[in-house]
Chains A and B, each alone.
Chain A
Amino acid sequence: MNEEQLIQAAQKGDLDAFNRLVISYQGLAFNVAYRLLGEESSAEDATQEAFISAYRNLRSYHGGSFKAWLLRIVTNGSYDELRRRQRRPQVPLEPDPIDGDETPDPAWLADPGETPAELAERVELNAAIQRCLNQLEDEFRTAVVLVDVQGLEYTEVAEVLKRPLGTVKSRLARARSRMQECLQGFAELLPEQFRLKGEGV
Chain B
Amino acid sequence: MKPRVSPKDIEQLSAHLDGSLTEHEQAALTARLAAEPALAAALKQLELTRAMLRRAPQRKTPRSFTLTAAMAGQRRGSLGAWSGFNFASAAASLALILVLLTDFSLNGLPLPAAASGAAEAPQVLMAEAPEEADTALAPEPSPEAFTLEQPPAADEGAGEISAKRSLSASEWIAENARTLEALLASLAVISGVLAWHRRRN
Contacts and interface: CB of A to CB of B under 8 A. Distances in A.
Interface of A: 15, 18-19, 22-23, 26-27, 29-31, 34-35, 40, 44, 47-48, 51-52, 55-56, 84, 108-109, 122, 125-126, 129, 144, 147-149, 151, 154, 169-170, 172-174, 176-177, 179-180, 183, 190, 194, 196, 198-201
B46 interface: yes
Contacts of B13: 173, 201
Contacts of B140: none
B62 A40 contact: yes
Interface stretch (B51-59, B90-98, B106-114, B164-172): B51-59
Interface residues of B, number: 39
A1 to B, nearest CB: 16
Q: Is the interface of A mostly helix, strand, loop or mixed?
A: helix
Contacts, number: 124
Given A52-B72, A194-B48, A26 B56 contact: no
Contact of B64 (A26, A34, A190): A26
Nearest to A111: B57
A20 to B, nearest CB: 9
Interface stretch (B2-10, B80-88, B175-183): B2-10
B15 interface: yes
26 contacts: A18-B67, A22-B66, A23-B66, A26-B64, A26-B66, A30-B62, A44-B63, A126-B56, A129-B52, A144-B53, A147-B18, A149-B53, A169-B11, A169-B15, A170-B11, A173-B13, A176-B53, A177-B46, A179-B49, A180-B49, A198-B41, A198-B45, A199-B41, A200-B45, A201-B41, A201-B45
Given A51-B67, A194-B52, A44 B15 contact: no
Nearest to B46: A176
A52 B50 CA distance: 33
Nearest to A49: B76
B146 interface: no
Interface string B29-72: 00000000000011001101111111111111111111101011
Nearest to B62: A44
Contact of A31 (B51, B59, B64): B59
Nearest to A107: B60
